[in-house]
Amino acid sequence: MVEIKKAVPNPIWEAVKEPLRLLVLAVIPFAIAYFTELNYEWAAVITVVLRFIDKLLHEVGKFEGIPVWKRVLPAFKV
């Protein structure tokens, strides 16, 4: 029974992880924009670039067999 539970992750947690990951990636550039004279448009661009890097690391890690928690920028472990 334990093996089946590990094979099928909690769907609610899986759905929540993506917006959390994006929120974590967005906090850094928007905090920089808030405390400096950087336009918020640039903060949005930086967020998109960070999201691209995050997805790239995930896909490369999946291809090379790297564990999930090591192949994304903000890793959410259960």
pLDDT per residue over 30-75, tens digit each?
Answer: 888 889 888 888 888 888 898 888 888 777 777 676 666 565 655 5
**Total number of domains constituting the chain:** 1
In a domain, 3, yes or no: no
- Rounded Cα distance, 51 and 73, in Å: 9
Instruction: Please report the pLDDT score of residue 74 as a whole number.
Output: 58
In a domain, 6, yes or no: no
Nearest C-alpha neighbor of 75 from the set 11, 28, 20, 10 = 20
In a domain, 39, yes or no: yes
Instruction: Please report the pLDDT score of residue 3 as a whole number.
Output: 53
In a domain, 43, yes or no: yes
Domain residue limits at 59: 11-70
In a domain, 78, yes or no: no
In a domain, 5, yes or no: no
Question: How many Cβ atoms sit within 10 Å of the Cβ of residue 50?
Answer: 19
Predicted confidence (pLDDT) at residue 77 exceeds the cutoff of 60: no
Instruction: Please report the pLDDT score of residue 1 as a whole number.
Output: 45
Band of residue 17 on the pLDDT scale cut at 50, 70, 90 = confident
What are the Cα distances from residue 72, in Å, to 25, 27, 31, 51, 75? 11, 16, 21, 10, 6
